[in-house]
């Protein structure tokens, strides 16, 4: 089974206006709301890929009922830890005139040490040996920088492989704890390693401590360091509508293929296809199986010479 940690769950609210004019009152011509946050995005994509998924995360305040209902509609099994704070709402304003998007993200609730303990207990009770665990995005406010490393160590103890898609100190703590896989974008990897080196070299350095290193590069696909070898996967050329969430789709594709027993680079092929599929639409999720399969066939993988 694949377990997804959702530390920064959100209500995603999208409002469309004819012409975004700051400093004025505008009437939205279209509004939509759905359950969001990186963890939920990954979980939704996993469901679309036919996987069994369980979400573990924080939920609090009036948003909780809405999120629970949306998860039930999706058929998403979730184990929520109640918190005193209020789960956030993230607003995207779509400007019909330009097609541009303005995103307003709330900071998210502050989590108490007791709530963190409860989450760790809920996670421990939700996993079994052989499971895969996905941790995406920054930790919740109030969680220490070392939290991801701590979770990785705990999960190692029960035979659960962890993938972390994050940056900064959270990613660094996971790398230092010997996490199974990482999937940051280039900026996130740089923010964790503070390295100035070319991306392939950074990937190789991290591969000294991590079994699978995937560095996503937007429309340029990704670099992968696996089994002492370095690879480049080229993304299909598409008409990008909105690539926000492509990293979450990429992670879902990789984990789904891994759960199906595919080799890491075949899993990368599906990951890249899912990232591209997400970018084909405004919403942060992948398209049909046929669409993903057609994109998968267009992904090109080449072996790169290891940097000296």
Ligand X SMILES: Nc1ncnc2c1ncn2[C@@H]1O[C@H](COP(=O)(O)OP(=O)(O)OP(=O)(O)O)[C@@H](O)[C@H]1O
By CB under 6 A, name the binding residues for ligand X.
Answer: 185, 216-219, 221-222, 235-236, 238, 240, 243-248, 250, 272, 275-276, 279
- For residue 127, the cross-strand partners are none
CA distance 220 to 203: 16
CA angle, 215 as apex, 211 and 101 as ends, to 5°? 145
**Residue with smaller CB distance to Mg ion, 109 or 247:** 247
CB of 254 to ligand X, least distance (A): 10
Q: Considering only 1-9, 49-57, 109-117, 245-253, which stretch makes contact with Mg ion by CB under 5 A?
A: 245-253
221 binds, among Mg ion, ligand X, none (CB under 5 to 8 A by kind): ligand X
**Residue with smaller CB distance to ligand X, 24 or 237:** 237
**Residue with smaller CB distance to ligand X, 168 or 218:** 218
Residues in Cβ contact with 79 at an 8 Å cutoff, skipping those fewer than 6 apart: 54, 55, 56, 122, 125, 126
> Does the footprint of Mg ion cover residue 247 (CB under 5 A)?
yes
Q: Considering only 115-123, 146-154, 228-236, 241-249, which stretch makes contact with Mg ion by CB under 5 A?
A: 241-249
CB of 150 to Mg ion, least distance (A): 22
126 binds, among Mg ion, ligand X, none (CB under 5 to 8 A by kind): none
CB of 287 to ligand X, least distance (A): 13
* CA nearest neighbour of 164 among 192, 198, 124, 123: 192
* CA nearest neighbour of 299 among 254, 241, 242, 244: 254
Residues in Cβ contact with 104 at an 8 Å cutoff, skipping those fewer than 6 apart: 90, 91, 92, 93
Site string for Mg ion, 193-232 (x = CB under 5 A): ----------------------------------------
- For residue 303, the cross-strand partners are 231
**Residue with smaller CB distance to Mg ion, 66 or 282:** 282
CB of 142 to Mg ion, least distance (A): 22
Contact in structure between 295 and 273 (CB atoms under 8 Å): yes
């Amino acid at each position: 089974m694949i377990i997804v940690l959702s530390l920064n769950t959100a209500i995603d609210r999208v409002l469309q206006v004819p012409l975004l004019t700051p400093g004025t009152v505008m009437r939205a011509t279209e509004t939509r709301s759905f359950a969001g946050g990186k963890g939920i995005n990954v979980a939704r994509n996993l469901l679309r890929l036919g996987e069994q998924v369980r979400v573990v995360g924080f939920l609090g305040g009036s948003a909780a009922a809405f999120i629970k209902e949306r998860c039930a509609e999706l058929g998403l099994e979730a184990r929520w830890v109640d918190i005193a704070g209020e789960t956030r709402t993230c607003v995207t304003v779509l400007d019909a005139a330009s097609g541009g998007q303005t995103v307003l993200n709330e900071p998210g609730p502050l989590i108490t040490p007791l709530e963190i303990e409860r989450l760790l207990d809920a996670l421990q009770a939700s996993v079994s040996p052989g499971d895969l665990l996905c941790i995406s995005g920054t930790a919740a406010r109030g969680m220490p920088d070392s939290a991801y490393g701590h979770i990785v160590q705990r999960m190692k103890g029960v035979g659960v492989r962890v993938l972390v898609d994050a940056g900064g100190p959270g990613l660094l703590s996971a790398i230092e704890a010997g996490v199974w896989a990482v999937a940051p974008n280039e900026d996130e990897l740089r923010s964790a390693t503070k390295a100035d080196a070319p991306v392939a070299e950074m990937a190789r350095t991290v591969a000294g401590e991590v079994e699978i290193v995937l560095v996503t590069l937007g429309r340029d696909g990704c670099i992968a360091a696996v089994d002492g070898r370095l690879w480049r996967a080229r993304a299909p050329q598409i008409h990008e509508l909105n690539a926000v969430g492509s990293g979450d789709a990429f992670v879902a594709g990789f984990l789904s293929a891994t759960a199906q027993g595919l080799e890491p680079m075949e899993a990368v092929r599906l990951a890249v296809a899912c990232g591209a599929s997400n970018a084909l639409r405004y919403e942060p999720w992948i398209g049909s199986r046929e669409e993903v399969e057609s994109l998968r066939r267009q992904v090109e993988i080449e072996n790169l010479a290891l940097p000296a």
